[in-house]
Structure 1
């Protein structure tokens, strides 16, 4: 293999809160509790979990359960508006506050009866919007809240932060149902993110090798891509592992409803979330983004798409120039829910002059092309696995629920959507087709 004139690819992934041991997960255990000044938030969240607050849409909800939910919401309304200025001094405090407040928000909103208006009190509105503004995140639950910062080690002495988490030593911090199924659902994705650190390390190695541009650079890039394909296949296995830990029907009926956000206000079929107290702070405004948590908010998967050039190609043909990644509108919107440093990583990856796909195209090297295709096909298999999970956990149960509703004289219109909105079947097929389209045909060599 000879050397090529490769554009500079200098990019240090560690500058973007990325650790090769844990990927996009924090390397140390996420904060387990806020300082005493904000204890009231921690206690109100503990109360919702302990009292097993029920979904407002629960069939056959008893009067006692309704009263319990209403009593809990009254306690939320009675909370003082706690100050957030000191939280700004610590990113760790801010992240914990967003985690706690968004869980309280979703407990509050989704425990309201289906036809009652949704009005969120100032005691929750003001601190949540202020914390979210500091983090540059929407004031609703995101993948960062229920996955990236929702774990702790099983072994207590690891909680000091001195040990790197491992796939077999994880448990959840917070859940709506307190069930093993909910823990299993979150942790299957936490494990994917944790193992994804090795993919990011290989990505960094490829970027470094592309910058050195010595005679052996292409060989090392080929080797890294070969290893990357193996690890992506491991990610697929970890993702499919959720089937052993979480019952699909239980997820759809008991867990998923807690996670969903709300559609845009112009959708007349959706009850708006009214945030009270905005007039008390002229710096705040009604939020425009309130989608729920979604795996589409994973920076790991979008990062792989960008790095491999998947979003640039559909069925083998470039949508625009090789350096312009044509991100779908839905995927672009999901980036708003990623931690800010992770969004910056994607932006830097897009603007980087180095294009892996262009390198493979210009090298005319059979081994390099085979390794690249192997990584892309492994990502396509990961997409297939995601479709299996979505069909099993959302589309299938959603269709059964629609049939039950029809038999009861009710109607449910439109396609089954994900917790963050969007026609799931169409979106996933589009992502898979883009991935398949990035594979180089053998005839191009």
Structure 2
């Protein structure tokens, strides 16, 4: 790369304008009204008239950094807004005399969500055809809500996030308390219109996503500043532990993001010193991913298998072929489009894992695999700034691929300095390739990082087998699908985790399954809508295949 080539901007832009502070009296000068940070939050909806203008994204203070914080990664650096209405404070719900402020009218949403969270609601399958129950009375109050305007929310990204969170949780409560056996659920206009409008502004699907469950579903306990969840369906410790385990994995992954940025900076230089540094960074990255795997394993200590499968997971489900969602009132706003993505929240929506794949050169696309587009589709469920981060990282990898550079560097170390630059799609080298030395530190470090990610996915397969595949088989064979009724969480507590329900199995191992059992496992779908076992194994195998073999 010649000296005239500009440096590759890795993750951040260090030329961000800042507000000037007086050196005389330390007084913060007000920004002029023409300064870009003084402008109102730009709409998330591009208009044809503005398509040719460069608009600085000020929707969040870290938008220029793709909303990726150096301290908290994809998690927000401050606790998310816990209530749109609130009382006093920065949320601005009530003034000194108790009058409603800018966000006060949204207490109607918050109140209806409070009722659902505190109501110990039953799933529709447990309600059956019963009428007049507490769930149906609550659903009636949802239908009677006013159709609220979202304009006051448009100048605040945190409030829009909270609005999506609240409306999406109400939506899932409403849908999954609907009696079973019906072919469709009709969502009333008081939820349809504001949810679709907020989702359009946020570039998100109008239902629960990983960001609603994990990224923006936490606060701090006032006693010890530990993490706590804001919203849950069951109010069980198992559900809280499920969300917070993912949140802690995201926080561990912050160091992985830093190591990736440092590696990309050194990759631009590409000299012997850079090679040594990248080798060290990749070794550290393997350790961080190992810590993420360890945190994933702590799921077993706080999330009961049967509580999760029977009473938590069903709330996450998106639209299915058996039960369609009908958004009533959408015709009232001609600018709204009927939702196309209604898959439900999934761990596949974690931007952190996608970033590791892109950085390490793990490819999941295939012309023959029907699930290969699933991970790409899951990016539509991510906050748009994080989606843009992945696009930026992918573009950097196209310009200068870490994996191709490792291959090139090791080849050069073997005395082949004129070896052509290998691109990101270079096939795996085989045992007959004379250019590679298995003891080369850089190659070993790269392979250790990829192997750590593969082991993380192994652990995830074990977890899914324990929490989903095993219980599904138990329900089918033992008839345990009957509900234990209201208050049953306490009855099934203490059963313990089901042992030996599943293990991650490599290709070629004896799985000792009948063809019928294999078919059942293949048919089981995740909350994101993909065939669960088949998809997870293919992703794990793609990661394994990224190891440079010699």
Band of TM-score, shorter chain: 0.7 to 0.9
For the structure 1 residues 218 and 77, does the alpha-carbon distance in structure 2 shift closer, same or farther, using more than 3 Å as the test? same
After TM superposition, list the pairs within 5 Å mapping 1:57-76 onto structure 2.
57-58=125-126, 63=130, 67-76=133-142
How far apart in 2 are the matches of 1:195 and 1:407?
37
* Structure with the greater alpha carbon radius of gyration: 2
Secondary structure of 1:229's aligned partner: helix
Q: Which runs of 4+ in 1 moved over 6 A?
A: 3-7
- Please report how far the alpha carbon of residue 402 of structure 1 lies from its aligned counterpart in structure 2 after TM superposition: 2.2
1:35-46 correspondence runs (5 A)? 35=85, 36-46=104-114
Please report how far the alpha carbon of residue 213 of structure 1 lies from its aligned counterpart in structure 2 after TM superposition.
3.5
1:137 aligns with 2:181: no
Q: Deviations over 1:404-441 (max 9, x none)?
A: 45999xxx976111111111111111011111111112
Cα displacement (A) at 1:153: 1.4
Aligned partner of 2:463 among 359, 382, 389 = 389
Alpha-carbon spacing, 1:386–1:360, altered in 2? closer, same or farther (3 Å): same
Distance 1:313 1:406 in 2: 38
Per-residue displacement from partner, 1:29-57 (whole Å, max 9, x unpaired)? 01111132211100000001111111111
Distance across 1 between alignment mates of 2:462 and 2:109: 38
The question of 1:398 aligning with 2:472 is answered: yes
Distance 1:368 1:407 in 2: 52
* 1:223-280 Cα distance to aligned partner (Å, 9 max, x none): 10000000100000101111000011110100000011013xxx3xx22101000121
Residue in 2 that maps onto 1:360: 406
Q: Check if 1:415 corresponds to 2:523.
A: yes
Determine if the alignment matches structure 1 residue 370 to structure 2 residue 444.
yes
What is the CA–CA distance in structure 2 between the aligned matches of 1:343 and 1:23, rounded to whole Å? Answer: 14
Partner of residue 427, structure 2: none
Q: Secondary structure at the match of 1:118?
A: strand
Mapping of residues 21-100 of structure 1, within 5 Å: 21-35=71-85, 36-58=104-126, 63=130, 67-100=133-166
Residues 365 and 373, structure 2, Cα contact 8 Å, conserved in 1? no
Question: Greater shift after overlay, 233-242 or 10-19?
Answer: 10-19
Question: CA offset at residue 62 of structure 1?
Answer: 9.6
The unaligned stretches of length 5 or more in structure 1 are 159-168, 320-326
State the Cα distance separating 1:11 from its structure 2 match: 1.8
TM alignment of 1:316-327, pairs within 5 A: none
Q: Work out whether 1:276 is the aligned partner of 2:344.
A: no
Q: Which of 435, 453, 459 lines up with 1:379 in the alignment?
A: 453
2:172 aligned with 1:106: yes
Name the structure 2 match of 1:323. Answer: none
| RMSD of aligned Cα (Å) | 2.6
Could you say if the C-alpha distance between residues 313 and 356 of structure 1 is closer, same or farther in structure 2, counting changes exceeding 3 Å? farther
Paired position in structure 2 for 1:125 = 192
Q: Distance in 1 between matches of 2:447 and 2:3?
A: 20
Aligned residues: 410
Paired position in structure 1 for 2:29: none
CA gap 1:389/1:7 in 2 versus in 1, 3 angstroms:
farther
TM-score, normalisation: structure 1:
0.87
What residue ranges of structure 2 are gaps of 5+ in the alignment? 13-61, 86-103, 414-439, 483-518
Please tell me whether the aligned partners of residues 135 and 339 of structure 1 are also in contact (alpha carbons under 8 angstroms): yes
Change (3 A) 1:258 1:4: farther
Residue 313 of structure 2 is aligned to residue 256 of structure 1: yes
Distance across 2 between alignment mates of 1:5 and 1:385: 46
Q: Relative to structure 1, is the Cα distance of residues 19 and 80 closer, same or farther in structure 2, using a 3 angstrom cutoff?
A: same
Measured in 1, the distance between the counterparts of 2:123 and 2:480 equals 21
Q: 1:209 — aligned with what?
A: 266
- For the pair 1:425 / 2:469, whether they are aligned, the reply is no
d(CA) in 2 for partners of 1:156, 1:209: 43
Q: Could you say if the C-alpha distance between residues 132 and 292 of structure 1 is closer, same or farther in structure 2, counting changes exceeding 3 Å? A: same
Answering whether residue 67 of structure 2 is matched by residue 17 of structure 1, we say: yes
Asked if 2 retains the 8 angstrom alpha-carbon contact of 1:8 and 1:210, the reply is no
- The structure that is helix-richer by fraction is 1
Structure 1 residue aligned with 2:391: 347
CA distance in 1, matches of 2:481, 2:253: 44
Higher relative contact order (CA 8 A, sep 6+): 1
Q: In the alignment, is the contact (CA less than 8 A) between 1:137 and 1:336 conserved in 2?
A: yes
The alpha-carbon distance between structure 1 residues 282 and 405, as it changes in their structure 2 partners (threshold 3 A), is farther
Aligned to 1:345, the other structure's residue is in SS state helix
Q: Helix, strand or coil: the match of 1:300? A: helix
Paired with 1:404 and 1:250, the residues of 2 have a C-alpha distance of 17
Q: Which TM-score applies when normalising by structure 2? A: 0.71
User: Aligned pair in 2 of structure 1 residues 4, 199: CA closer, same or farther (>3 Å)?
Assistant: farther
2:229 paired residue number: 172
